[in-house]
Structure 1
């Protein structure tokens, strides 16, 4: 994890460490909420530290699993030891939702690699969390506020005209009173918002005064400076939320972006040749079948997939076949 080099980095690192350490006190929760809402930069940097923490956890888990598997192979004659190792591996691989209650009105929800979860909030709203997603729910009598720190979530918001529902990311916010929409905070400092039902109002953190409406079938991409809204092809909005069934749909999607969708479901590291990162991919794939995706792209795109040391995969441009006259 990077070493903090300025006050915001230091503060974000401090809060990220506090969240990793366990439950926050009510006064800590109030202080954190005030700090996070003070500046969009706070949200952006905090999200980066939490993403780094999640990546480190995944790396450590992969190394521990590999080490345990080696021990299993070397100690086949010890039944007791094998049972202990098997239990450890089962616990490490089990889908377990991190659900830390911060107070009776605020909570932290997080999922780990390859797990999804559905949570019902105390106002009746429902949140579907994709893998490696973290969000902080903070409800008051005047508003319902959710910070999407990282990952992706589908929000089915219960109607309450007196209490607007606000989803914030490091690059912008979405405000509704009751609707269904999907928010994906990518690792490239952009946020993707897709409206499934109802109407939302969206704005970029770089232009907080310019709030724009969105209706079903529209998708917005926000950075800290820009907001672009486009109309999706018919049926494409439902494809966006195919992850709830463990699938992902690509339609002329850049290869680099397609691989990012699988990052939350596997501990393996994939490096990609810059020459092929923008090759286009289409089709429907299972998120738990990375090998199937790799076999597919190697057969339909001019690329080679090679296995490096450990759990590292490399995708490179295929060399053109030489003609022999």
Structure 2
């Protein structure tokens, strides 16, 4: 989703809560929703994420049933607005984003340290008692030192909470992968799972649409390589490796011959160095590279 659409949705969430919100503003909000189906989708998603976060937490404390998606969306606007604004005063969410190939570090008000990977977007409410954030897209490295405020990180798939530790959290095309490097974390899925999922040190929780939660123990050195501008492949299909490398570069690479996407590649490569990666492919695999605006991989 585009950063401008996310930011506009966040502003409308706050403005609709304000006591001085006018009928004209409500009409303009409706017009904005109708401009494009994506506007309604993003606004509903944002509202639903925050609403399900609050509702699931309350449900767990009270040991009641998890609310349905319809119930979550029905109360979504009000709950989302309450997170993004104080009653009677307009407010705007802060949107942190990174461009292609960029990494960005920030420290939240409560003491949490966050490193955003390439093409990532995080939304922060303007006023919070404890740190809250919404990971809209991309990947983050998160550190919660002892004494920092507990963090509640919402995504479209779940809400992650922790009091201390180090974590790697990445949004997938169809879900989320959350890894605990140190400490512990609790995940509250937005659907299909009524009980919280505890994630301990060295464990990775993967949530994918239509599949049960999966917990494994990945190689942590490979997992965190992106923090130093590298990416690790271990017997990885070439098609997957290219998708990962393309995330970090404006100059893209594509497979031009059928079948070679299944070839396997291993090694540690610098993100953004597409020319160096292409050169390595010609030495390791039976392929050649056709130069141009897009680097085309052709079978020998």
Q: Name the TM-score class by shorter chain.
A: 0.5 to 0.7
- Identify unmatched segments of 5+ residues in structure 2: 19-28, 30-39, 53-83
**Equivalent of 2:48 in 25, 31, 39:** 39
Please, which of 313, 321, 324 is the counterpart of residue 295 of structure 2?
A: 313
Alignment of 1:134-213 (within 5 A): 134-138=121-125, 141=128, 143-159=130-146, 164-186=150-172, 188-213=173-198
Give, in whole Å, the separation in 1 of the partners of 2:285 and 2:17: 49
Counterpart of 1:242?
225
Aligned twin of 1:46: none
Deviation at residue 221 of structure 1 after TM alignment: 2.2
Who is 1:278 aligned against? 262
By how many angstroms is 1:264 displaced? Answer: 2.8
Asked whether 1:224 is paired with 2:209, we answer yes
Using the alignment, how far apart are the partners of 1:148 and 1:25 within structure 2?
17
SS at match of 1:248: strand
1:277 and 1:170 mapped to 2: Cα distance? 30
Distance 1:247 1:29 in 2: 44
Question: CA contact under 8 A between 2:98 and 2:119: conserved in structure 1?
Answer: yes
Relative distance call for 1:257 and 1:216 in structure 2 (3 A) is: farther
Deviation at 1:282, TM superposition (A): 1.4
TM-score for the superposition, normalised by structure 2: 0.67
User: Which of 180, 199, 205 matches 1:214?
Assistant: 199
Offset, 1:274: 5.5
**Closer, same or farther: CA 116–141 of 1 in aligned 2, 3 Å:** closer
Q: Which has the higher contact order (CA 8 A, sep 6+)?
A: 2
The answer (yes or no) to whether the contact 1:192–1:221 under 8 Å persists in 2 is yes
Give, in whole Å, the separation in 1 of the partners of 2:159 and 2:288.
40
Q: 1:64 maps to what in 2?
A: none
Distance in 1 separating the partners of 2:223 and 2:118: 15
Change (3 A) 1:204 1:21: closer
Q: TM-score, normalised by structure 1?
A: 0.63
Q: Is the alpha carbon distance of 1:18 and 1:175 closer, same or farther for their aligned partners in structure 2, counting shifts above 3 Å?
A: closer
Q: How does 1:243-262 map to 2 (within 5 A)?
A: 243-262=226-245
Matched, 1:296 2:283: no
Contact 1:269-1:312 at 8 Å conserved across structures? yes
* Distance across 2 between alignment mates of 1:207 and 1:298: 45
Paired residue secondary structure (1:170): coil
How many equivalent pairs are there?
A: 242
Cα distance change on mapping 1:257 and 1:167 into 2, 3 Å: farther
| Deviations, residues 88-143 of structure 1 (Å, cap 9, x unaligned) | xxxxxxxxxxxxx9988942100111111110110010000111111112376554
8 A Cα contact 2:164 2:183, kept in partner? yes
Q: Which of 102, 105, 110 in structure 2 is aligned with 1:123? A: 110
Tell me, yes or no, if the aligned pair for 2:231 and 2:271 is still in contact at 8 Å.
yes
| Long gaps (5+) in structure 1 | 1-11, 44-100, 320-325
Cα distance in 2 for residues equivalent to 1:252 and 1:222: 23
Q: Secondary structure at the match of 2:160?
A: strand
Between 1:111-120 and 1:218-227, the stretch displaced more is 218-227
Separation in 2, partners of 1:22, 1:205 = 20
